[in-house]
Structure 1
Amino acid sequence: MFLRSGIRRRGAVLAGVTALGLALAACSGGGSGGGSGSSNGGADSTLVAYTGQAGDYQINFNPFSPSRIGALGTIYEPLFFHNKAEVSDPVPLLGTEQAWNDDGTELSVTLREGVTWSDGEPFTAEDVAFTFTLLKDNPSINSGGFDGTATAVDDTHVTFTFEQPAFVKGPDVLNTPIVPAHLWKDINPVEDVIEEPVGTGAYLLDDFKPQAFTYKANPDYWGGEPALKNIRFLSLSGNQAGADAIAAGTIDWQTGPIPDIQNTNKNFPSYDAFTQWQNQMVLSTCSSTEMGCEGPQTDPAVRKALYYAMDRTQLNKLAFMETANEISPAFTLTPSQDGFVSDAVTEKVAPMTAEPDKAAQLLEGAGWKKGSDGIYAKDGEKLSLTVEVVTGWTDYITALDTMASQAKAAGIDLQAAQSSWNEWTEKKGSGNFQLAIDSLWQGPAPDPFYLYNYFFDSGSGAKVGESAGNNYARYANPDVDKALEELAKLPLDDAAARQPYFDTIQAQIVEDMPYVPILTGGTTSVWNTAKFTGWPSDDDLYAFPAVWSAMDAAEIFKKIQPAG
């Protein structure tokens, strides 16, 4: 549906897919800007993008590193592109055909002929087999949980074999970035920083400085040199700087609401805005004492008390300009994935107003007692928690300020600690945190299995001090692991067989709550429609429109053209 403002908002879209969204909200701005970003004009225009990076970039184009700053999709391509915003067939990239055998134990992929790496070496099936062996041998970067065997049949055919049926793993396999074996055989994929990336993609790294880096079009790209010749990613001081840059007309694409977003095109005639929902905002916790986590947040009662302490209506208004949506404690998208929710989950969505009595009941039932200062304590330990947030992420900072007041009313002391994106990422990966405000993202298909597999599978966790994958909450539950293992064997369309395993997972994660649900974020992109054409729209939603959603952004860069 359309609002009069011109912001395109989509709730449930085709076949029940809800569009993606974490809002990196800007909290100031104004003026009547709307000029073009820096450019050379015509076909040589440079698109200037801002991803929300606050502080200097630290060079790292390792596609498997949590501290990477780019290269996914643009430089390192997967076999196929999966559009998270709309139900559609996978788009062939390095692969051209793919098919499963009848029992789901073998996936066969035909590769594109005539592709070369950007250093001139030929791309072959050996590169694909090497990439997946690399992931399997290094669990901390194996975020998709690949546990099969990749075999090069010949230069243009590769097979993936699994001991058990693995239909649901297909989208993750096909969406994995492929790296060149002739270079990566000498690289430590977990620890090494890549400064000169070599890929098959439509773009090459042209220039890097801590304040900005630039891609240039690859003249030898197998799909033809893109019309957009240069992309420049800026590092700014935070969301306010991004909003100010839109007002000044010095950037062309950022993903994050701006002030008076309902009137974007009126205030800034060269720009338009587009909002969708999919990413689920959370207070992530270092949850497991067995994995070395320390602090009050390791008590599930504390986590659930925080859940009930939130006034989400107030949070949405004050921090997210009412661009966010309801969230389910089962982490199924609502309403599009309501059909996956267990009948045993009595609270289908998180309460939109605070329920301090429930919070108090949970804490007191777990042995916490309220002190004279109104804050709970137990065994001499005050219920005081620190939440890690990135400096400059003004929407999240405002949310935490609001949450602190709400938590205090429930007897919980909540403090925010700001740091650079690099430091924030390192703390999460190493387990050196109590809470971190972040979001959980969806997988390549409209199905909750992928989010569960990414964030709740103990295999992508790690002990504190070691590098974790997506499960940086270090959540470990054998019942959840077993249910995920069984779900991986079943076809995505066998709802009756799959639901008992969803029931098991949801019962455990609602009870344990290692990620405390906040809201489903509305992702808003603001882009320069006067300078560039071909942006995604309701009529042609060919990719999820967020500059930080790397694989989607890579498709958008290939599609858009300089105006005129």
Structure 2
Amino acid sequence: MLNKKFWYLLLVLTIFAFLLVACNSESSDEPEDEDPDTEQEEESNEDEEEESEQEGPVAGGEIVGAMDTAPAGVFNPIFYQEAYEANILDFTHEGLVSQNDSLEFIPSLAHDWEINEDQTEITLYLEEGVTWHDGEDFTADDVVFTYTTIASPGYVEAGGIRTEYVTPLEGYEEFNAGETEEFAGVTAEDDHTVTFHFAEPNVNPLYYVGFPIIPEHVFADVAIEDMPTHEATLDPGKVIGTGPFAFTDMVEREEYVLTRHDDYWQGQPYLEKITWQIVDQSVITSLLETGDIDFVADPSGVPAADYEMVEGYDNVELIEQPDFGYQIMGFKLNYRTEEDVEAGTIDPDNWVENPDVADQQVRQAIAYAIDRQGLVDGLLYGRGSVINAPIAQQFWAYTEDVPQYEHSTDEAEALLDDAGYVDTDGDGFRENPDGEEWVLELAYPTGNQIRERSAPVIQENLEAVGIKVNLRQPKEMSAYVEDVMENDVDNGVDLYLIGWSLGSGDPDPSGLWNITAAYNMSRWNNPDSDELIFKALEAPDAFEQEFRKQTYQEWQELFATDLPAVLLYAQNKIYGFNERLNGIDPLPYSMINDPHLWWVDDAE
């Protein structure tokens, strides 16, 4: 999901060298007929020493990971939309920089960088000897091509949603409008040096230069509108990255195969193959126990209900940490017109207001009506937390000093009464202020069982205060996301459930919540929100973290008051992996970290 995000960045550290084990025979002048017990003891000690010498990374072997939902099928960093596709791309593509477990930026495809004094330029020095999966050299031209494509006219219309990475760059508006032929925002100084030029001093330039890079030689002759359906976006063997594994095979909606990139620039990965299998969430834990799968990671992980059971498995290790994201029930405040949907444009001037959730008091009443702590206790078994602000809890910008909406049917009913939503015909459900039937359409996707089970609980909570809710037939995630993002008046969704995995590079919420963000599924149109979002990025004040923190606190209070979505909970991430798998070193936002260093101790 997530920052978009990406929002979703790869981390690379120093590589271990392969351990070469040399078994040397030593001659002895001692008599051949020495004491047998002594001889056996010496042989036993030698065996133990040899076994000890062999401990450590071993090349070879395969592992299997599990996802409960199949990827939608877009394996291109500039066009993919959901976490299941990211599970492939996290192994295949890389950015110029990455992050460590303290969320500090560290080198990746760029080994060093310089930022000018007023922070309007950052020059990065790229690793030499990096090759794409097809053997072509990675150069600065690939970086320029990637960012130029995202900035180009037609990118959004083709379904692209990553413009947050290019909008601050010099010349974006002119280039995107077709007024210039060259994009001035990113330039190649030579094959291994690239400079990013910002229109204004930028408080966090490393965040914007970290987007995964795509190969120019593959896509240079492909029209932007054709990229999402091109074979290099869709087909195994055609998807080309610089990462430690290449996407080589798939049985669609069943399994997705990643094969070792032997010429990987940080050294040949230990594992030969990683296969993602698509399995029902209800059987993931049993497959972990039997060893049929080796790991389960994002986005769902090990179900909270199964934690204690899996903890008892002798062959499985668990990692639990707070989610770098949250689950929401969004309000569809505005609809796009059918014409805008067909054209692929997001134009707030054309939006049509949804009267069923337009009243702020109604949205606040709904927030009071939902027993969020009950969801955490009942569905997450306490392995999560209720949150009230849409910034990751791990960031310095997060605050709880906002309206809390603790569960209260009394508060909910009082707000609804005050807004004029009352039961006029005695059927137990409220009519709207015009006396007309008021039914809210709640949509949700399949795949995540906790989210699926949340939907009828929310329906029950809302009907307890007189709000009639129609649960729509759940859809598979890829179809669901398209449906909600492109939702128009005729489709009529009022409420939707979704989870966001947030970008780890910066607390900036614009990728999800600024007015024209593609992922602003609520179509929240609040100019005060945008003013605060952009104020938190404006120099020189934004160079002071305390200023940004205060601005984001104001924005979070505005969000929690106007309420384009109810923040349901942040579910603890529970990763599980077979003890045969080594080298796992999770980050605050992902289990997938340096997979070229993963290895299995039973490799042959």
Q: Name the TM-score class by shorter chain.
A: 0.7 to 0.9
Q: Compared with structure 1, are the counterparts of its residues 187 and 559 closer, same or farther at alpha carbon in structure 2 (3 Å cutoff)?
A: farther
Q: Give 1:301 deviation, angstroms.
A: 2.8
Q: Compared with structure 1, are the counterparts of its residues 88 and 407 closer, same or farther at alpha carbon in structure 2 (3 Å cutoff)?
A: closer
Q: Give 1:215 deviation, angstroms.
A: 0.4
Moved more, 473-482 or 42-51: 42-51
Specify the alignment match of 2:537 in structure 1. 488
Specify the alignment match of 1:402 in structure 2. 457
Q: Give 1:226 deviation, angstroms.
A: 0.6
Q: Compared with structure 1, are the counterparts of its residues 142 and 282 closer, same or farther at alpha carbon in structure 2 (3 Å cutoff)?
A: same
Letter in 1 for 2:507: P
Q: Give 1:220 deviation, angstroms.
A: 1.2
SS at 2:516 equivalent: helix
Q: Give 1:157 deviation, angstroms.
A: 1.0
Cα distance in 2, alignment partners of residues 341 and 421 from structure 1: 31
Alignment of 1:355 with 2:408, yes or no, is yes
String of CA shifts for 1:446-495, please: whole Å, max 9, x gaps.
x532xx212111231xxxxxxxx222222222222222222223476613
The residue correspondences of 1:385-396 to structure 2 (distance < 5 A) are 385-396=440-451
Cα distance in 2, alignment partners of residues 494 and 340 from structure 1: 16
Q: Compared with structure 1, are the counterparts of its residues 544 and 229 closer, same or farther at alpha carbon in structure 2 (3 Å cutoff)?
A: farther
Q: Give 1:212 deviation, angstroms.
A: 0.7
Contact 1:315 1:403 in 2 (8 A): no
Which one of 65, 70, 74 corresponds to residue 49 of structure 1? 65
The residue correspondences of 1:247-262 to structure 2 (distance < 5 A) are 247-254=289-296, 255-257=301-303, 259-262=305-308
Letter in 2 for 1:303: R
Q: Compared with structure 1, are the counterparts of its residues 393 and 382 closer, same or farther at alpha carbon in structure 2 (3 Å cutoff)?
A: farther
Specify the alignment match of 1:150 in structure 2. 186
Q: Compared with structure 1, are the counterparts of its residues 223 and 505 closer, same or farther at alpha carbon in structure 2 (3 Å cutoff)?
A: same
Contact 1:73 1:177 in 2 (8 A): no
Q: Compared with structure 1, are the counterparts of its residues 409 and 146 closer, same or farther at alpha carbon in structure 2 (3 Å cutoff)?
A: same
Q: Compared with structure 1, are the counterparts of its residues 427 and 411 closer, same or farther at alpha carbon in structure 2 (3 Å cutoff)?
A: same
Q: Give 1:338 deviation, angstroms.
A: 7.4
Cα distance in 1, alignment partners of residues 405 and 163 from structure 2: 28
Contact 2:304 2:380 in 1 (8 A): no
Letter in 2 for 1:497: F
Which one of 455, 459, 462 corresponds to residue 516 of structure 2? 459
Contact 2:384 2:571 in 1 (8 A): yes
Which one of 479, 497, 500 corresponds to residue 547 of structure 2? 497
Cα distance in 1, alignment partners of residues 595 and 353 from structure 2: 41
Cα distance in 2, alignment partners of residues 394 and 88 from structure 1: 30
Structure showing greater Rg: 2
String of CA shifts for 1:470-526, please: whole Å, max 9, x gaps.
222222222222222222234766134324532442343122211211111111111
Specify the alignment match of 1:280 in structure 2. 326
Specify the alignment match of 2:247 in structure 1. 205
Cα distance in 1, alignment partners of residues 380 and 163 from structure 2: 29
Specify the alignment match of 1:563 in structure 2. 601
Contact 2:392 2:398 in 1 (8 A): no
Contact 2:246 2:259 in 1 (8 A): yes
Specify the alignment match of 2:73 in structure 1. 59
SS at 1:117 equivalent: coil
Moved more, 125-134 or 242-251: 242-251
TM-score, normalization: structure 2?
0.75
Contact 1:109 1:158 in 2 (8 A): yes
Letter in 1 for 2:108: L
Q: Compared with structure 1, are the counterparts of its residues 72 and 489 closer, same or farther at alpha carbon in structure 2 (3 Å cutoff)?
A: farther
Specify the alignment match of 1:94 in structure 2. 109
Cα distance in 1, alignment partners of residues 270 and 131 from structure 2: 20
Moved more, 193-202 or 407-416: 407-416
Cα distance in 2, alignment partners of residues 163 and 526 from structure 1: 45
Contact 1:127 1:178 in 2 (8 A): yes
Specify the alignment match of 2:216 in structure 1. 181
Which one of 526, 533, 557 corresponds to residue 576 of structure 2? 526
Cα distance in 2, alignment partners of residues 251 and 93 from structure 1: 30
Q: Compared with structure 1, are the counterparts of its residues 333 and 121 closer, same or farther at alpha carbon in structure 2 (3 Å cutoff)?
A: closer
String of CA shifts for 1:135-178, please: whole Å, max 9, x gaps.
1223442253422011111111111111112223531x233110
Contact 2:302 2:574 in 1 (8 A): yes
Cα distance in 2, alignment partners of residues 175 and 239 from structure 1: 32
What stretches of structure 1 move > 6 A for 4+ residues in a row? none
Q: Compared with structure 1, are the counterparts of its residues 168 and 57 closer, same or farther at alpha carbon in structure 2 (3 Å cutoff)?
A: closer
The residue correspondences of 1:98-137 to structure 2 (distance < 5 A) are 98-137=113-152
The residue correspondences of 1:166-315 to structure 2 (distance < 5 A) are 166-171=202-207, 173-185=208-220, 186-188=222-224, 191-193=228-230, 194=233, 195=235, 196-210=238-252, 211-236=254-279, 238-254=280-296, 255-257=301-303, 259-266=305-312, 268-277=313-322, 278-288=324-334, 291-292=351-352, 294=354, 296-315=356-375
Q: Compared with structure 1, are the counterparts of its residues 233 and 113 closer, same or farther at alpha carbon in structure 2 (3 Å cutoff)?
A: same
Contact 2:131 2:242 in 1 (8 A): yes
Letter in 2 for 1:471: N
SS at 2:264 equivalent: coil
String of CA shifts for 1:264-286, please: whole Å, max 9, x gaps.
232x2111211111321111232
Coordinate RMSD, CA, aligned: 2.6
Q: Which has the higher contact order (CA 8 A, sep 6+)?
A: 1
Q: Give 1:293 deviation, angstroms.
A: 5.6
Cα distance in 1, alignment partners of residues 379 and 328 from structure 2: 14
Contact 2:402 2:557 in 1 (8 A): no
Letter in 2 for 1:557: P
Cα distance in 1, alignment partners of residues 445 and 223 from structure 2: 30
SS at 2:410 equivalent: helix
Which one of 425, 430, 453 corresponds to residue 376 of structure 1? 430
Specify the alignment match of 2:22 in structure 1. none
Structure 2, gaps ≥5 residues long: 1-57, 170-184, 336-347
Alignment of 1:423 with 2:465, yes or no, is no
Cα distance in 1, alignment partners of residues 559 and 353 from structure 2: 18
String of CA shifts for 1:361-417, please: whole Å, max 9, x gaps.
322232212242222221354332233222242111222222222111122223433
Letter in 1 for 2:582: T
Letter in 2 for 1:179: I
Equivalent pairs, count: 486
TM-score, normalization: structure 1?
0.80
SS at 2:442 equivalent: strand
Alignment of 1:160 with 2:175, yes or no, is no
SS at 1:215 equivalent: strand
Q: Compared with structure 1, are the counterparts of its residues 43 and 293 closer, same or farther at alpha carbon in structure 2 (3 Å cutoff)?
A: farther
Cα distance in 2, alignment partners of residues 188 and 376 from structure 1: 49
Cα distance in 2, alignment partners of residues 246 and 293 from structure 1: 48
Which one of 398, 405, 412 corresponds to residue 467 of structure 2? 412
Specify the alignment match of 2:417 in structure 1. 364
Letter in 2 for 1:477: N
Letter in 1 for 2:484: K
Contact 1:143 1:470 in 2 (8 A): no
String of CA shifts for 1:235-277, please: whole Å, max 9, x gaps.
12x32132332243311111132544124232x2111211111
Specify the alignment match of 1:78 in structure 2. 95
Cα distance in 1, alignment partners of residues 265 and 513 from structure 2: 38
SS at 2:451 equivalent: helix
Contact 2:366 2:462 in 1 (8 A): yes
